[in-house]
Amino acid sequence: MPANKRPRKVNYSVNKKWPKTWSKVAKSIVHYKKLQERIKFEWETKWLMNAVDKVSKKFKKYWINPNKI
């Protein structure tokens, strides 16, 4: 076998814009809703703002509009 062949276990699409499991999308939406409830109760803490930022990055990755949630 030639040494210049690529390994078969690395055979995947690099430009995927969706998660392998759709439960990731549902869980990120539930997490966003829980964070919004906590913001109403606890106000805007730095920890909550960082968490919302991470969830919004996931929304951008999964092409979800947070205004329609």
pLDDT digits (tens, 9 = 90+) for 6-59: 666 666 666 666 666 778 889 999 999 999 999 999 999 999 999 999 999 999
**Number of neighbouring beta carbons within 10 Å of residue 7:** 6
Cα distance between residue 35 and residue 41, in whole Å: 10
Question: Which pTM was predicted?
Answer: 0.68
Interatomic CA distance for residues 64 and 43, integer angstroms: 25
3-state secondary structure of 63: coil
Q: Tell me which residue has tokens 């439960």.
A: 23
Alpha-carbon distance 61 to 13, whole Å? 15
Residue 63 has a CB neighbour count (10 Å cut-off) of 9
